[in-house]
Amino acid sequence: MTRSTVQIGLVLPDVMGTYGDGGNALVLRQRLRMRGYDAEVIEITLADPVPESLDIYTLGGAEDSAQRLATRHLQRYPGLQQAAAKGAPVLAICAAIQVLGNWYETSSGERVDGVGLIDATTTPQQKRAIGEVTTTPMLAGLTAPLSGFENHRGGTTLGPDATGLARVTRGVGNGVGDGLEGVVQGSTLGTYMHGPALARNPELADLLLARALGVSELAPLDLPEVEQLRRERLRA
């Protein structure tokens, strides 16, 4: 990286911001600033083309109608896809996994073509997954259990080009009976965990930041209150 300020793209918070997942961008910014980096959050709304020049991108959850709006916008302005192709980290939360996938079905049975950044398809399940979810990460560089709050009805099936982020130890996860939670493909990482996910899983936040900065790892931050939150949530 040559830019002096790390730019964090908060993608379509006006339609993909139902569950407070915009907090993930704030967590990234704060963890950078605590390490002495200049960092800013760039909000990209339906009024803006998606730039391919940012250092890291985050997308949040939404309902069916908002997902369709987001999908059309990202197809029209493929800056996110271009950035991911160059290796920029992308964090997709909940419905964003579906938007970035090959296709998804709405609750009414309509099939919508996705962005195609993730080799995954999603269909509605009979029972909604709602509650605490805990997982064991499968991604290299993650050692601590991951936790979050899931609230979705989608069942996401991964294709051969994608792998799971973690294996479920409690909760539902991707919802298709394979025991997986989330998805990893290239520089894109997706999870159904709200919370926000990065507030509850600082190791995951730092892995994304290390990739954005082009370093192998970051020295951990000593934040006892964050560790207390993790302990509370893992016991919940």
Where in the sequence numbering do the catalytic residues fall? 94, 194
Contacts of 174 by beta carbon, 8 Å cutoff, 6+ apart = 155, 156, 157, 158, 164, 180, 181, 182, 183, 192
Please state, in angstroms and rounded to a whole number, the distance separating the CA atoms of residues 38 and 29: 8
Contacts of 156 by beta carbon, 8 Å cutoff, 6+ apart = 97, 98, 101, 120, 121, 122, 174, 175, 176, 183
Please count the CA atoms within 13 angstroms of the CA of 102 that sit on its side-chain side.
13
Helices 202-213 + 23-33 axis angle, to 10 = 70
| Distance of alpha carbon 97 from the chain centroid | 7
Q: Where are the alpha helices (DSSP H) in the chain?
A: 23-33, 64-76, 79-85, 95-100, 197-200, 202-213, 224-235
116 exposure class (CB count in 10 Å sphere: 0-12, 13-18, 19+) = middle
Among 235, 231, 60, 216, smallest CA distance to 152 is for: 60
Cα four-point dihedral sign 200, 204, 210, 211: negative
